[in-house]
Amino acid sequence: MTEKTGNRSPWVWIPTLYLYQGIPYTIVMTTSGLIYKTMGVSVASFAFWTSLLYLPWTFKFLWSPYVDVVSTKRNWTIWTQLLMGVAFIGLGLVMPLGAFYAISLLILFVIAFLSASHDIAADGFYMYALNQHQQAFFVGIRSTFYRFAMLAALGLIPVVAGVVQKNTGLKPVEFQANSVSYGDYMPFDPGTISIPAAEGKPTIKIFPSEIRIPLYSPGESETDSTVVYIALSAPPESGETVVVNVARKTGSKDIDIPRGRADRFEFTDANWNKPEAIVLKVNRNLSETTTSGFLITAGNIAFSWVAALGLLGAFLLLLAVYNKFMMPHPAENNDGKSAGLMAFIEVIVSFFSKPGVIPAVLFFLLYRLGESQLVKIATPFLVDSRSAGGIGLTSAEYGIVYGTIGIIALTIGGIMGGIMASKYGLKKLIWPMALALNVPSAVYIYLAWAQPMPGDILIPISVGVEQLGYGFGFTGYMLYMLHYVGESKYKTAEYAIGTSLMAFGMMLPGMISGKISELIGYEHFFIYVMICTIPGMLLIFWLKIDPKFGLKNSD
């Protein structure tokens, strides 16, 4: 290292470097699903298009030699961070536009390209600034803060959006539905609804005022459902769309909106007084009366994302300034080399001529086959309506689940992974880490089949178990990449090839995950995910790993 901040502890820059690295990736790949789900885009559509956003990470090896030899990894890191901060502010500003979907996808692609370039530079900087033992020790720390960033993007950002949604738009409305015997049930005639325009801001209106659902009575009546009607008391402003969401929040699970029936409605100045129908159905096996509580919300969803993404962009700009002053200046082996065709060919030949390249490449492609699909569907599953098979969390509840139990579990898992890897080496821990990464994903099978209510302690516990395993297990995956690259002449570019293969293995399965989940339902989808974890783990039997890699005496 040069004299500039040469003795600065890695603790002052590794956490912020990988905190930054994780946020753009998570927003693009995962939080975008939450954004588009709340904005009314179908799961199949956004799962496909956001999976295509893996392309910059998949093909970043094409320009990685340029990052390796043009300027310094430090400069690439700082400039890409500054540009991404500005891009996130722009992403928030387009959310209220009518063409937000297409424009936001374009901005997300720009962010993905900048983030992929940042990954090349940051990972190369990490390898130049640290020796091998430090790399093994801090891989757990870097993974922890990378995942901390993911949880901030999945937790804090949705919480901010949820708070804004709750305090903007129309006042939330609660109502109760009661099951009654068929003799006490009186059908409601929607023809009696009349809604004269009220003065001032619209409010949500519900018809009828008392909601009863008949118990199923074989031989007497086949009726087991009723219809509730909602509308607005006054027209919204011209060009404004009021999005209304309905969800069961309390009481018995035996009264709910049936799967496949609408629970999201849009009102404008053209249809504000035309009632929309909400179907409520009672469990046919229920023989006694019960009650369920429902909540109707109509927050300003688009504005909530303007605020959340704007704050995120400002935070990233501040983080970039901090990193500029705190990152050290290690010596980098660019030596003014040209990033021409021969350099690119030399990188490719070096990477693909290493011993054990075939199982290594297959490992990079298939190890995350299950996770690549889980990560696309877990978010919409947790926030999707219970009538569609989801858990029904609000944006704020979703953020809290990932921002409390999840972050604690992830931090513990990541730190444990790094410490144990530096103590026992990758060879001894690769299997325990692989199992820890994949097996806890089974908690989603339980959540899909049991459908615990929002607020149930088992939801954050399940997410915490999955995050703990991921924090510990992903350490092994990243360490193997460092092991495979070794002390290569072009280790920054070769590491980029490894992460590109990983991204390619995430992209293709992610593109079809939304369609598969729609075809087979959440319950069977998560079982399918667990089956997909098997091929990548089996490849471990063929990996060549130096037993001394990661140990202190291996430098």
Type and span of the H or E element at 243 = strand 242-251
In tens, the pLDDT along 151-195 reads: 788 778 888 988 888 788 888 899 999 988 887 888 888 888 888
DSSP conformational letter for 487: T
Query: Where are the domains positioned within the chain?
Result: 10-166+302-554, 171-298
- Distance of alpha carbon 115 from alpha carbon 503, whole angstroms: 13
CB-CB contact of 531 with 518 (8 Å): no
List of the chain residues with pLDDT < 50? 1-5, 336, 554-555
In tens, the pLDDT along 44-86 reads: 888 889 888 988 988 887 787 777 777 788 889 999 999 999 9
Tokens of 335: 């030596």
What was the pLDDT predicted at 338?
A: 53
Question: Going by C-beta distance under 8 Å and a sequence separation of 6 or more, which residues neighbour residue 211?
Answer: 175, 176, 177, 178, 226, 228, 280
DSSP conformational letter for 221: B
Rg (CA), the chain: 26
DSSP conformational letter for 547: T
What was the pLDDT predicted at 337?
A: 53
Is beta strand 211-214 parallel, antiparallel or unpaired with respect to 170-180?
parallel
Q: Identify the CA nearest to 380 among candidates 397, 396, 392.
A: 392
Q: Whole-model pTM? A: 0.69
Instruction: State the Cα torsion 30-36-37-40 to the nearest 10°.
Output: -170
CATH architecture of 10-166+302-554: Up-down Bundle (1.20)
Question: Going by C-beta distance under 8 Å and a sequence separation of 6 or more, which residues neighbour residue 203?
Answer: 170, 171, 173, 232, 233, 234
Is beta strand 242-251 parallel, antiparallel or unpaired with respect to 291-298?
antiparallel
What was the pLDDT predicted at 555?
A: 47
What was the pLDDT predicted at 525?
A: 94
In tens, the pLDDT along 198-210 reads: 888 899 999 998 9
Type and span of the H or E element at 283 = none
What was the pLDDT predicted at 26?
A: 87
